[in-house]
Chains A and B, each alone.
Chain A
């Protein structure tokens, strides 16, 4: 019993230390971000653009593919239920709304957490264990300014863009099923979709994706900074970055969905 309590206590203390460090990083990032526009060297445009290409442009093919498949899956599932009532045209409503409000932002964020969040953790983690981050510090360069800001800013810009793309492609996936399997013309399908969608649906999705972007970048960078003990430590933190990011994504999605629901 004593051993059990001891183990629980140690875990809790370790968890508290993690949360404290995470809060410190978020705090410093926010402070540096606020100061960035006024300090000449506080913001690194070239490395932000490099990151934008890495996390945004390079992710387009995979986001495209997955969003299209999810759109088709949704359409098929919806059709199998709605067919019984002869209401297959409403597949367009269902696909449109669930993609723009929920699955577009969330699926994109999960893909990017697996693809770019993990890369951030691995990259920064390797820099940590090979003393590159110490080297930055002793050269008088702030690691948060140098490494975290470009990543947070680039993801905050690119994830909403990718989400818009995923929304559009997901709807096209629905169109493909509608025209090929449900005898709905593309024109009718799209008209029905536009009739069902409100601007608000898309905007709430984009608000979510902005929050998701910050979560993914902060978790990735934080895990990288906390890596220690060589390759094994970097690997562990990289895995943790994906697991923790996806958990926080779902949690914040629940929060935002509840918020939008209550404000309706």
Chain B
């Protein structure tokens, strides 16, 4: 996505797009002799919901890990609020991380703590708030994701969807400016998944957060996306609005949207390489 003006007709919410928050430039990631990301570039504007789309193994989760500074790339840059996190020392990256929240695929709750303690972790670590205030904030955040009254439950006692919502409450504990979601609907039934999508929409409307969602679920895409970055084999196929995605003549985009299976593998060597890697 080029940092150009929004091409959609002006609507009530275009005013909140306040310049780029995340810029990914020529990102290259390599594991062994396999190139996972190959020159990925795009920009996420403030207050926008961007969906990173692609099939399994296209590198979208890897891209997310690099966007939050969990891994360092072979080449390229990731700028958050204009600062290159691939070069910053860890202490400064940690400073930026306080302004962002991440919901991992499994929720990633700490299993040895209760749900309430999980949500309290960032508050206890990064603020000097008294326990009573933290308790109130934890209850508020859990209420926001529809988990009021679950403070004292252990994560193991929660269902998959509840774990994700609790993970979301923890990700939002510090009132982040950017929220990242890694496959929010993975492993959830359609109703629970739709509920999570609704929650994402509500968060955007209420808090005007910048939201980045990694997914391969088409229903989620059409419901929540404002901008789309589609990846295939480590490269950006398309970066633009939802309308541009629908209008794209690129066969890879069409194939994905129409849910057609990949053409029969003809090259035996290629097949063998994929099977044995």
Contact = CB atoms under 8 A, between A and B. Distances in A.
Tell me, yes or no, whether A binds B.
yes
Interface of A: 41, 126-127, 130-132, 134-135, 137-141
A229 to B, nearest CB: 14
A140 B70 contact: no
A130 B121 contact: no
A130 B126 contact: no
Given A140-B94, A140-B95, A140-B97, A134 B104 contact: yes
26 contacts: A127-B110, A127-B111, A130-B108, A130-B111, A131-B105, A132-B110, A134-B65, A134-B70, A134-B104, A135-B104, A135-B108, A135-B170, A137-B70, A138-B68, A138-B69, A138-B97, A138-B102, A139-B97, A139-B121, A140-B94, A140-B95, A140-B98, A140-B122, A140-B125, A140-B126, A141-B125
B108 A41 contact: no
Contacts of A127: 110-111
Contact of A132 (B69, B95, B111, B125): B111
Contacts of B65: 134
A126 B106 CA distance: 12
A137 B72 CA distance: 14
Interface size class of B (residues with CB under 8 A): 20 to 34
Contacts of B102: 135, 138
Contacts of A141: 121, 125
A150 to B, nearest CB: 12
Contacts of A137: 70
B125 A139 contact: yes
A126 B156 CA distance: 13
A141 B94 CA distance: 8
Nearest to B182: A131
A139 B125 CA distance: 9
Contacts of A138: 68-70, 97, 100, 102
Contacts of A130: 106, 108, 111
A131 B104 CA distance: 7
Nearest to A134: B70
A126 B170 CA distance: 20
Which 3 A/B pairs are nearest by Cβ-Cβ distance? A140-B94, A135-B108, A131-B108
A135 B107 CA distance: 9
A41 B127 CA distance: 11
A132 B121 CA distance: 12
Interface in B88-116: 94-95, 97-98, 100, 102, 104-106, 108-111
Contacts of B100: 138
A41 to B, nearest CB: 7
A112 B97 CA distance: 38
Given A41-B125, A135-B167, 6 more contacts: A131-B105, A131-B106, A135-B104, A138-B68, A139-B125, A140-B95
The CB with the most chain B CB atoms within 10 A, among A126, A134, A137, A139, is that of A139
B214 to A, nearest CB: 13
Interface string B139-170: 00000000000000000000000000001001
B9 to A, nearest CB: 36
Nearest to B96: A140
Contacts of B109: 132
Contacts of A134: 65, 70, 104, 108
A138 B70 CA distance: 7
Contacts of A131: 104-106, 108
Contacts of B167: 135
B68 to A, nearest CB: 5
B201 to A, nearest CB: 23
